[in-house]
Amino acid sequence: MSRAAPYTNRMDDAFLAQLRCPIDPEREATLTRDEQQLVCSGCSVHFAIKQGLPILVPDEAELPDGMREVSQLPCQRRANRRKNAN
């Protein structure tokens, strides 16, 4: 008989490994768990976890210090540079 996993551990590693940052134009940046948040490995944006589910919505994301909007993130600027180069 297996014990039910604690509520906060509902999001297992396999599930986490499939998630990608919704802000990343390439959809390649992975997310790592940090307490009750997910942190993007690419742009360091934090996404809240509410009731066991990550809120992967750019508008709700917490930007790194010194950034006021999503377009200031390095991954966005990289994408824009690529666009301009074409």
Q: Is 39 in the site for Zn ion (CB under 5 A)?
A: no
CB 45 within 8 A of CB 21: yes
Residue of 8, 10, 16, 21 interacting with Zn ion (CB under 5 A): 21
Q: Considering the complex, what minimum distance in angstroms separates the CB of residue 42 from Zn ion? A: 4
Residue of 38, 39, 40, 61 interacting with Zn ion (CB under 5 A): 40
The token duo for 18 is 């499939």
Q: Which is nearer to Zn ion, 5 or 17 (CB)?
A: 17
Q: Considering the complex, what minimum distance in angstroms separates the CB of residue 14 from Zn ion? A: 20
Count residues contacting Zn ion (CB under 5 A)? 7
Contact residues: Zn ion, CB under 5 A = 21, 23-24, 29, 40, 42-43
